[in-house]
Structures are given as structure tokens and as C-alpha cells.
Amino acid sequence: MTPARKKRLALVVLMLLGVGLATTFALNAFNKNILYFFSPSQIASGEAPVDQLFRVGGMVVDGSVNRSEEGLDVAFELSDTLHQVNVVYTGILPDLFREGQGIVAIGKLDTDGLFVAETVLAKHDENYMPPEVAEALKKAGKMPGTAAPGYGQDSVSYE
């Protein structure tokens, strides 16, 4: 390699290292300032803000979903296996919303400790298989975890 090319290569590598380092620092700072994803346990211990929008994530408790006879009102319980929180929501739920499914709700906690959701989002996992295979796996007790990782204690990065 000629000296001129070596110099240019070194400059480019230096530039990439610099930008990479800057990005790493920026993302780390962003990581620490991330808005918390409150779990039902954190709500139970009073860490969640009252009268302010925040997100809560957990699994929809089996048998807890109550749809109103008329209208789009729905009430259900979210759990992180330790604590539960009651959620009410008015609107169309995503297709994947069902009991036992991990979801994220955005809304406010009222003074009675009831979570009034403005938006309900369902989270699907990375497993794809035909229904027969899922059935067989369930029977064998080998179904991959249906809960998305991090529900309960972790932070979440979107808003």
C-alpha cells in the first residue's frame, strides 16, 4: 500500500472509531434515562406516578377478561406473577390480545388504583409454527415460553 493510501485508511478507521465511540456513549446515556416500564409489583409498592401517563406491562390473567354487553369496554387483570393490576380500556383490542398473552398498556392510574388504558399493544414472540405443532408441543410440555422476556422488572425503550 502506498503511504498516501495508508494515511487515508488510517483516517477513515479513526473516523469510524470516533463515531462508534460517540454513539456508544450516547446510547448508554439514553439507556440510563430510559422511561420505566412499570410492572404490577412496582405499582403495588407505590412507585408508579398517579395522574400521569406511563406504561405497564404484564401477562393478561387467565379468566380475567370481562367485555361489556354493549360497547367496546373491556376490563382485565395484568400480572407479573407476584402482583396484579386491574386495567380498563375502551376500544378495539389487537388481534393477539388474549388471556395468557403478554401486553403493554399505556394510560394513567386513577386514585382507586385502577389503570385506565388509552392504548393496548400486544406483543408477539419470535416463534412461528403451525397450530398442530403448537398443540403437540403443549401436550409434551415443551412449548417455548409464551411470555416475552423482561416483563415484570425490566425497562422498555419505546414510548
Taking the complex as a whole, the smallest distance from the CB of residue 158 to other proteins amounts, in Å, to: 3
Among 56, 65, 134, 141, binds other proteins (CB under 8 A): 134
Which is nearer to other proteins, 23 or 45 (by Cβ)? 23
Instruction: Return the HEC string of 18-70.
Output: HHHHHHHHHHHHHHHCCCCEECHHHHHCCCCCCCCCEEEEEEECCCCCEECCC
Do the bridges between strand 37-38 and strand 54-60 make them parallel or antiparallel, or are there none, so unpaired?
parallel
Between 12 and 51, how does the x/- string for binding to other proteins read (CB under 8 A)? Answer: x--xx--xx--x---x---x--x--x--------------
By CB under 8 A, the residues from 72 to 131 that bind other proteins are 92-97, 104, 119-131
Question: Which residue is it, cell 439507556?
Answer: 31
Closest CA to 91 of 109, 69, 117: 117
Among 49, 63, 113, 144, binds other proteins (CB under 8 A): 144
Contact at 8 Å (CB) between 104 and 94?
Answer: no
Phi, psi of 139 (to 5 degrees): -60, -40
5 binds other proteins (CB under 8 A): yes
Sheet strands (E) in 69-114: 73-79, 84-90, 102-109
Taking the complex as a whole, the smallest distance from the CB of residue 74 to other proteins amounts, in Å, to: 13
Closest CA to 121 of 158, 68, 152: 158
Which is nearer to other proteins, 68 or 119 (by Cβ)? 119
Which is nearer to other proteins, 19 or 53 (by Cβ)? 19
Taking the complex as a whole, the smallest distance from the CB of residue 97 to other proteins amounts, in Å, to: 7
Residues that bind other proteins (CB under 8 A): 5, 8-9, 12, 15-16, 19-20, 23, 27, 31, 34, 37, 92-97, 104, 119-135, 144, 149-150, 154-159
